[in-house]
Copies of this chain bind each other. A is one copy, B any other.
């Protein structure tokens, strides 16, 4: 299992452009929003958390469709499925998700405080947003794994994967954003949505790999 994690991390760093393209896209999102809302710093600060979340959500989608596709194309997926008695397939999926998250999403989370500064957000808001991103984005990857597994046999599943999973990521987004707001606006609570967010991540950490494993098993041909 550790070996799989290390292999996927290596692959991500060495070959897939995922990391940098993801960050770049994230930056692009954050750069153009001020053009839209104008130089109104207050407004920017208000929608800052939402923008960071939307940017992170969309950036996570980039490259997610290749999560299993690459392994299928070179025959590795067959062997991973065959090994399912040694390593439960759901666990294999979980590890692959973790590696993908570490390589393509973690850098965004790390970069988000900087972008929060650009958006004129308060320090507390920045901290809260980063924290919610850290806790919430794994859920997106895990949900995405289901879509990637369902679409694995399609050579260009990219868009399809996003279509399948975007409606499912809506709750994550909602609770992530509301927790971030909760940290600065007084009536709104922080802890409740944050805990729900954590619960969603944990829930999908179980359900996502199981569903993805089922889809992968039936995809072998």
Interface residues of A (CB under 8 A from B): 11-12, 14-17, 20-22, 24-25, 27-29, 31-33, 35-38, 43, 46-51, 53-54, 57-59, 61-63, 65-66, 70, 73, 104, 151, 154-160, 162-163, 166-167, 169-170, 173-174, 177-178, 181
Contact = CB atoms under 8 A, between A and B. Distances in A.
22 contacts: A16-B157, A17-B154, A17-B158, A20-B159, A21-B163, A24-B159, A25-B61, A27-B170, A28-B54, A29-B166, A32-B54, A32-B57, A33-B54, A35-B50, A35-B170, A35-B173, A36-B49, A37-B50, A58-B58, A62-B162, A66-B156, A70-B155
A50 B33 contact: yes
A61 to B, nearest CB: 6
Interface centre among A15, A36, A160, A177 (most CB of B within 10 A): A36
Contact of A28 (B12, B37, B73, B163): B163
Nearest to A69: B66
Contacts of A70: 155-156
A73 B50 CA distance: 37
Contacts of A169: 28, 32
A66 to B, nearest CB: 7
Nearest to A36: B50
Q: Within the oligomer, what is the number of copies of this chain?
A: 2
Given A156-B11, A156-B14, A25 B73 contact: no
A50 B32 contact: yes
Contacts of A16: 154, 156-160
Nearest to A37: B50
Contacts of A46: 36-38
Q: Ordered nearest first, which 6 A-B pairs have the shortest CB separation?
A: A36-B50, A28-B166, A15-B156, A15-B155, A36-B47, A37-B50
A159 B31 contact: no
B57 A173 contact: no
Nearest to A14: B156
A47 to B, nearest CB: 4
Contact of A155 (B11, B22, B48): B11
